[in-house]
Structure 1
Amino acid sequence: MTGFPRYAIYFAAGADSALSRFGAELLGYDAYTGNEVPFPAGASRVAPDWRDVSADPRKYGFHATLKAPMALAPGKTETELVAACATFAGKARPIPSIRPVVDSISGFIAVIPAEPVGALQQLAADCVREFDCFRPALTAEDRARRKPERLPERQRDYLDRWGYPYVMEEFRFHMTLTGRLDAERRGPILEMLRARFATLDLDTLAIDRIALFKQDDAEARFRIIGEWALAR
């Protein structure tokens, strides 16, 4: 069984940013404070069951995955992981910038880049590689939970190598807003989310920081325990 606590390295917009407020309101949870947030009225008008629609991403907080959730490998400590995050952020690198849009991805709705950005793919790959020493070996149970028989060969290989199938060429940046939706439900919800997102007037988004999220146990939500600006 997956161990706890679990940690993840994510992108999260700054605590005071309009994008963070947008995500926290729609998920009903602020990962910076650990507090619940009232849903916007418009969400429940389009989807009276909005709490259920947003239940899956609420557990993780509004984020984009860079290094997927993991327990710590034997001998590794939270203090060491925090120090590694600071070291990683301190290495000068090109700062990716995306043109963010709200769209459907694999059946759920998320904030995604309008077009691929090579520097973002590189940042995600660097996170996967450099933090992998903190990840324990993949157990047979955790591997089976990913249903490897349903994955394409490359994703299956990545699952075995990195403990997560959606890395390297398979990485797709997304900040999730809903769980998976049937096609007939997706249209009105997508329209509502795009309209709300348009009010942010966010033409570009710099992926200029990493955040360390922690989940204490299986029932807990992830919360942010540290964040670092990336050195340019």
Structure 2
Amino acid sequence: MSDPRYAIYYAPPPESPLWTFGSAVLGYDAATAELRAPLAPAGVDAAEWAEITAQPRRYGFHGTLKAPFRLADGASEDDLVAAGRTFARKLRAFDLPALEVGAIATFAALKTITSSEQLGALAGACVEAFEPFRRPPSAAETARRLEAPLTERQRQFQERWGYPYVFEEFRFHMTLTGSLPPERVKPVVDGLAELYEEHVGAAISRVNAVTLYVEEDAREGFRIVDRFVFGP
């Protein structure tokens, strides 16, 4: 029997240059659940790029607001959608802060150039609002997460919220690659930065919705279920 995982993500409006760029880099459009011709940096062939982006492609282009979770006993997808629509009606849209391609440890991602209180507040609100729908992780899942080098505060968040990078530990980013060999990090980041400037540049994206993703089968990855558009 299927036991899907859900997540609450920021996904740029589907008509935006940012969505087109991110989906092309990953070679997958989570809105249509279809593979795309990959957009790779200069000097990287298609086969290598498919391998480099394999892990983030599974999740689709996004910025995490509430990390993947399985539904609590008694909850349904319809319940989650209804709650998401109610939640979103109370919010107002704002501009996504300017982004730049950079390295986080050994992977490349889009990061905000300056911190954003609005994004932080939105992420915190999502963590709390959708918590009643989260089934606590299994002991094995928790053990795997705790194998990572976490601070004491992050461990507390992991135990309470099922994810260590929430509230003051939240750092907005949109992942573009999997882990890279140290010598490949800078060339890949520089190449993606050039592509970002070419395809997105100074175009402004709006944060006007939060998006529900689902992974029904780990072999197929996440796809978009619904966009919970903010109030007028």
Give TM-score scaled by structure 2 length: 0.93
Q: How far, CA to CA, are the matches of 1:4 and 1:43 in structure 2?
A: 36
Partner of 1:193: 192
Say whether residues 1:45 and 2:43 are aligned partners.
yes
| Structure 2 residue matching 1:66: 3-state secondary structure | strand
Partner of 1:215: 215
Say whether residues 1:124 and 2:123 are aligned partners.
yes
What per-residue deviation string (whole Å, max 9, x for no partner) do you get for residues 167-215 of structure 1?
1111111111001112210111111100010121235433221111010
Say whether residues 1:31 and 2:13 are aligned partners.
no
Q: Is the 8 A contact 2:93 2:208 kept in 1?
A: no
Q: Is the 8 A contact 2:107 2:176 kept in 1?
A: yes
Partner of 1:225: 225
Partner of 1:142: 141
Identity %: 41
Give runs of aligned pairs for residues 62-73 of structure 1, distance below 5 A. Answer: 62-73=61-72
| Structure 2 residue matching 1:157: 3-state secondary structure | helix
Q: Is the 8 A contact 1:100 1:203 kept in 2?
A: no
| Structure 2 residue matching 1:136: 3-state secondary structure | coil
Mark the CA change 1:39 to 1:94 in structure 2 (over 3 Å): closer, same or farther: closer
Unaligned runs of 5+ in 1: none
What per-residue deviation string (whole Å, max 9, x for no partner) do you get for residues 96-149 of structure 1?
631111111122111110011111111000000010000012321111010257
Per-residue deviation, 1:93: 4.3
Unaligned runs of 5+ in 2: none
Partner of 1:92: 91
| Structure 1 residue matching 2:172: 3-state secondary structure | coil
Mark the CA change 1:73 to 1:83 in structure 2 (over 3 Å): closer, same or farther: same
Q: How far, CA to CA, are the matches of 1:184 and 1:175 in structure 2?
A: 22
Q: How far, CA to CA, are the matches of 1:44 and 1:212 in structure 2?
A: 33
Q: Is the 8 A contact 2:42 2:191 kept in 1?
A: no
Q: Is the 8 A contact 1:5 1:216 kept in 2?
A: yes
Give TM-score scaled by structure 1 length: 0.93
| Structure 1 residue matching 2:43: 3-state secondary structure | helix
Q: How far, CA to CA, are the matches of 1:45 and 1:149 in structure 2?
A: 32
Q: How far, CA to CA, are the matches of 1:95 and 1:12 in structure 2?
A: 14
Count of matched residue pairs: 229
Partner of 1:206: 206
Q: Is the 8 A contact 2:23 2:61 kept in 1?
A: yes
Question: RMSD between aligned alpha carbons?
Answer: 1.7
